[in-house]
Structure 1
């Protein structure tokens, strides 16, 4: 008996395609803005209508059956074709969807966007700040044209370009350093609170940025590695500005604070970060994307020159 493709089956197929791609119902639920139970229920309904299982469900893992794999490959092609067709049918100057990490958006990109708008008034930009891990499917599903990420990873199915290297340096307020002269002189961590970005990138080891700097500059301090962790680098900077401790900072996020004197680079030498800023592009043939990408790379180049002069990298 032939199964009828009524709307609920199509919705179930979309849910299945995402779950099969991620091999995780919880991640699929997050991607689809559904609950985990809703995803499980939709896939169960699809399996009941089809009359055979699509997944082998194991403890904390999913495996596609042979029929599930065949259906996933077909559904993936169909949904990708639909998404690409919808993109081609969009108005030529639809807003450019830019996706960026929150702290980089707040501290670096947002203050520069007015310059881009002045130079290119015909290209409207919609900036969305979030942590989402990206691949080609995720960018297409969320209608992302351009993304900026900070990590040491690879992006096999996206056009990815390294646009800015990063350096790590401890920073604090002049007031905090005056109250902790032994630390300011590089002699002791006693009484000093270390401030950490808990997730500088997805899957980053705990304390990775302070650890990287200490291993290069002060390995004798590693036994005292600890402190307060925040989920945003901007919160780390805010805590430092409020004299709460010493932040391990990325130059792109604090150069303006260094220039104003609100924060001080505690020690002379900067340490290269294990991560860097990546530009991710869904469609290289999009004129808006090309214009924005060129402008962004020019801004990164200007920033690198200013950073070199100010911090003597």
Structure 2
């Protein structure tokens, strides 16, 4: 039934398609770029359709190449997981997770002790970055935690947390904020679609439009810097209800006018379809579900 399948060529294609590079595939497979090119051409001849567009300095998948890659990548993941499960001495579970520095520092890392206690055999590597990743191309990352409003129809997704923005400050500052004009702390959000979740929106909801004209405004590049400044009593911070949760639980911050909030976005866990069945990934998805209730 499967005797005619060109397995070497398919494996070569998966590597080249995932990395969008014949040279990188050659390095991964320990062969020459010429050998990779030969395998790809033979596969295209066997199929009768082109799989790559050859551009001057790179290659790009055709529509047929995209379809084949998504199917092959999931199949190879399933095979690798099954083979690993059959070994008497199973390989150590490992998991690479990518998320933003702020979410890692303010929500994830304070809770990871419970994950390690429940799954001591899983080695978690945390990659913190604000850059978007193409999980179909970067197989080194198992799953990502992303923030925003977007849908991801080509990925397996699990919605985690929806947030609201509110204002918080150190207890002493919150107690005196209505008698003075406090300094306001904010973040330079890189995503322009999220910038409306800002002091302007909160002040409009609170009926305090003049506050922006009267107060000093201080900006930070990351949410965790802004929260640390607020904890130190340097001003009131507009912050995500998700990212501020640990500081609230520890009494480091209190809400200022807690009845006033503005809507934010949400966090979603994502992986390539099929990878959610990989035991370390499944364990992390299950743990996330428990943590968010």
2:280 aligns with one of 288, 304, 312: 288
Structure 1 residue 240 displacement after superposition? 0.7
TM-aligned CA distance change 1:165 to 1:226, over 3 Å: farther
TM-score (norm 2): 0.66
> Residue 219 of structure 2 aligns to a residue in which SS?
strand
1:229 has 2:226 as partner: no
CA contact (8 A) 1:171 1:264 kept: yes
Q: Give the whole-Å Cα distance in 1 for the aligned partners of 2:133 and 2:260.
A: 30
CA contact (8 A) 2:148 2:265 kept: yes
Q: Which residue of 1 aligns with 2:234?
A: 244
Structure 2 alignment gaps of length 5 or more:
1-12, 22-52, 86-91
Q: Give the whole-Å Cα distance in 1 for the aligned partners of 2:216 and 2:284.
A: 40
CA contact (8 A) 1:136 1:157 kept: no
Structure with the greater relative contact order (CA < 8 A, sep ≥ 6): 1 or 2? 2
TM-aligned CA distance change 1:71 to 1:109, over 3 Å: closer
Q: Which residue of 1 aligns with 2:41?
A: none
Q: Give the whole-Å Cα distance in 1 for the aligned partners of 2:218 and 2:278.
A: 43
> Residue 220 of structure 1 aligns to a residue in which SS?
coil
TM-score (norm 1): 0.63
Q: Give the whole-Å Cα distance in 2 for the aligned partners of 1:285 and 1:260.
A: 36
> Residue 252 of structure 1 aligns to a residue in which SS?
coil
Q: Which residue of 2 aligns with 1:150?
A: 147
CA contact (8 A) 2:147 2:267 kept: yes
Q: Which residue of 1 aligns with 2:166?
A: 169
Q: Which residue of 1 aligns with 2:121?
A: 122
Name the stretch that deviates more: 289-298 or 142-151. 142-151
Q: Which residue of 2 aligns with 1:49?
A: none
Question: Following superposition of structure 1 onto structure 2, how do residues 1-313 of structure 1 map, counting pairs within 5 Å?
Answer: 17=20, 68=55, 72-73=61-62, 87=77, 88-89=79-80, 91=84, 93-137=92-136, 140-182=137-179, 190=181, 192-199=182-189, 202-206=191-195, 208-218=197-207, 220-221=209-210, 224=213, 227-282=217-272, 283-301=275-293
CA contact (8 A) 2:165 2:241 kept: yes
RMSD: 3.5
Structure 1 residue 180 displacement after superposition? 3.7
